[in-house]
Amino acid sequence: MSNLFFPQLSSGASAQYPIKKMAVTRTITNVLPDGTMILYADPAAAVVIWQMTFSELSSADINALQSHFQSCYGPYRAFTFIDPTDNMLASSTNLISSSWASSPLIQIAAGATDPMGGATAFVLTNTSNSAQQLFQQTTVPANYQYCFSLYALSAQPSTIALFRRGASATANETMEIGNYWRRIVSTGRLNDPGTQLSVGVNLAPGQQVTLFGLQLEAQIQPSRYRATAGNGGIYPNSHWTSNRLPITSDAPDSFSAAFTIQSTL
């Protein structure tokens, strides 16, 4: 995995809109003499492409982009790109999957009614006499601005603790929940130079909660929930697609740029 990461803007955003995102796949076709076709999907050729446009960037932001471009030697070296249009968490629809880690005395049951009217929420029960956790670890800069959100309810009024944790710093936030769905949010930066970030929930002894829609984004506030069944929106094998980074100076300390990033699926 690359140790280079696409920079975040000083505003706490990772991109500006509009963003164009495309998924490109390839199918290999063999036509036999009798006209029969044999089709084969080539997964190694599948890529995601983002067309990015930035305006009114400060000198600090444009210098960060230039420095990153130079560190990558243009399209030569891979870097990790956080998709600004997606949920960073893998398997957000399946809290029992291997993408999630949980303390041994948490019981997780699927099939609960969710706030969208489906049955994709999960009931978590802490069966122990001590606090227990459910979390997911990602390989991204811990000191970026992140927003971790989820929907929660509890049969009885109680509190639930969300956390964002790096190698040397942790942010804990306790939120009140009750017998109605509430979207709760933990947002901010960690004073941590590492490249590991874990987000999750702490359950008090004996506590039972129902959770849905866990989402992590590299921005200040949450956007609409985006379900992930497999990988999340973190792409460790991304590349600039050009050997030059076009930058326009529009005014003093105001710059614009447009470029394309490509990553394998």
User: Which residue segment(s) compose the domain that 66 sits in?
Assistant: 20-84+235-264
Q: Can you tell me the distance from the alpha carbon of 205 to that of 186, in angstroms, rounded to the nearest whole number?
A: 22
The confidence score (pLDDT) of residue 175 equals: 95
Would you say residue 58 lies in a domain? yes
Query: Which residues does the chain have with pLDDT short of 50?
Result: 1
Would you say residue 136 lies in a domain? yes
The CA angle 196-189-221, to the nearest 5 degrees, is 110
Q: Please say whether the beta carbons of 175 and 151 come within 8 A.
A: no
Would you say residue 1 lies in a domain? no
Q: Can you tell me the distance from the alpha carbon of 200 to that of 212, in angstroms, rounded to the nearest whole number?
A: 12
The confidence score (pLDDT) of residue 225 equals: 98
Would you say residue 36 lies in a domain? yes
The confidence score (pLDDT) of residue 191 equals: 97
Same domain, 134 and 220: yes
The confidence score (pLDDT) of residue 34 equals: 83
The confidence score (pLDDT) of residue 24 equals: 86
For residue range 48-92, what is the model confidence (pLDDT) as tens digits?
999 999 999 999 999 999 999 999 999 999 999 999 999 999 999
